[in-house]
Amino acid sequence: MMPLGRSLKIAQVFARYRLDTFIPAGARPLWLRALLAPVKLMPQPELSRGARLRHALEELGPVFVKFGQLLSTRPDLLPPDMVSELDQLQDNVAPFDPDVCIALIEEALEQPLDEAFASFEREPLASASVAQVHAATLPGGEDVVVKVVRPGIEAVIDQDLRLLRFIAGLAHRYLPDGRRLRPVEVVDDYEHTIKDELDLVKEAANAAQLKRNFANSPLLYVPEVHWDHTRTNVLVLERIDGIPVTDLAQLSAQDTNMPLLAERGVEIFFKQVFEHNFFHADMHPGNIFVSRRHPERPQYIAIDTAIVGSLTREDQYYLARNLLAMFRRDYKLVAELHVQSGWVAADTPINAFESAIRSVCEPIFEKPLGEISFARVMISLFQTARKFEMEVQPQLVLLQKTLLNIEGLGRQLYPQLDLWKTAHPFLERWLRNRVHPRTLWGEVQRYGPEWLEKFPQIPQLIFSSLEQARELAPRVQSLSDDLAGRREKARGQRRRWLLAGLLALAAALPMWPELVDWFAELPPLSLGLGAAAAILLLWR
């Protein structure tokens, strides 16, 4: 059960911002209408609905703020005005007591602070809803940052997740699009995301994997993890010296090659999604820096790897082909790929779907490629598919969010960015390499030992399958005979009912002399054909 105080707080915020108006009147059951009756007496704030939602989430605290940030990446769920407001949600909260922070570190590392670190700054560098970060120096002289999870945050998250799941259940049951949008699954995905943020060992493992993927790469640098000082609630990373990616003044002051910087951001995204199949899914500006070295060949620095994503091989393939087909204006192929991938129902009419996609994409592609928003094209495509009962694909949510962040960041750095110029050759090259003999041989080498391990079992598996088929044959025959008997019985019943109907009609004919006269005037051939038809119906 949720504590009474928390329940009252949520109800108060809900009423003050008149969030009841978000629920369509026709979708409210009787008990909900009765519950909301007192709320209608309150005046409606002179704010847009998006602003009301944003202020309500900020008042309700960190869990709701982070959930709102997740929703801001889902234009397939919310209208544009709400998405725009939720984009402004800030995850900055007051820091907790430094003494409490130090006690948590000492307990996690099982040693005094002055033994673990040569120096430690009590004032945090940053403070967010889940954790805060302090600067420190290791005994060996390495400059590091120490990230510490807030005390008691797990209980707050569990309470609020229960409420979010309850609301999602109502949305699933009563909203017109509730079943298709799968709100309960959205909350479940959010739970996994925020619970992962509480486990700093997972974040450290993600950082290590990302660092390996870009080892010696001029594109991206990831700080080193200090594993000896890392625990579930404490993470120690190399301290980086970079320029915030949004600080355009500093970037210009060191003569950063801005077009190359923007293009490299796009290249990083596609490498992560298609080559590595492991992508940093929280690449908002606060987590991205630019190295001060080699401004003519700028390198990104990524932090906060708590949230990562990956796609299935099938989704990778269909996504790449979808994007290429869209920009080639092959809308029929786009429609077919949506069906083949299972993103829309198998019985979706291809021609109607193709026409809907064309009507959305053609106005966009009339612009120069440099002015086309790659992410918005993708969103428009998903919104069009929504009309054809496309279910929300959880595996594509993080990808869409990351693409929005990357493209927005790239255009901020270099407004003339032509994202397609970078993406197009990359996708074509990736699709060619996917079916290259070298790639196929690599698959054989990777899975060959497993196939060889299972090969001796194949004869036994075949024998067992044949044995099972032989044992099932009598049961299948019995069921088939039973089904045939039921069909014959049903046919007999239909014949009896038809015969009874014809006899009843014949018996009723004398009651309508006009009908008898009409039959008498019919030619013999017509009467004969009618009788034959009746006999044929009875026989069938």
Residue type, 104: L
Rounded (10°) CA dihedral 518, 520, 523, 524: 140
Mention every residue, 6+ apart, whose C-beta is less than 8 A from residue 194: 63, 66, 130, 157, 161
User: Which residues face 243 on adjacent strands?
Assistant: 290
Residue 285 burial by CB count (10 A; 0-12/13-18/19+): exposed, middle or buried?
middle
d(CA 419, CA 423): 6
Can 199 be counted among the known catalytic residues? no
Residue 319's Cβ-side half-sphere holds a number of Cα atoms within 13 Å equal to: 24
- Alpha helix positions (H), 93-152: 98-109, 113-116
Cβ proximity of 288 and 304 under 8 Å:
no
Give backbone dihedrals phi and psi of 234, rounded to 5 degrees, phi first. Answer: -135, 130
| Angle, vertex CA 409, rays to CA 425 and CA 270, nearest 5 | 30
Residue 390's Cβ-side half-sphere holds a number of Cα atoms within 13 Å equal to: 27
- Alpha helix positions (H), 72-199: 80-86, 98-109, 113-116, 153-174, 178-181, 183-198
What would the two tokens of residue 394 be? 């959880």
Report the chain's C-alpha Rg in angstroms.
33
* Candidate list 20, 282, 304, 418, residue with the active-site label: 282
d(CA 495, CA 501): 10
Cβ proximity of 184 and 169 under 8 Å:
yes
d(CA 107, CA 101): 10
Q: Sheet holding 288-291: strands in order across? A: 220-221, 300-302, 288-291, 242-244
Catalytic residue set:
282
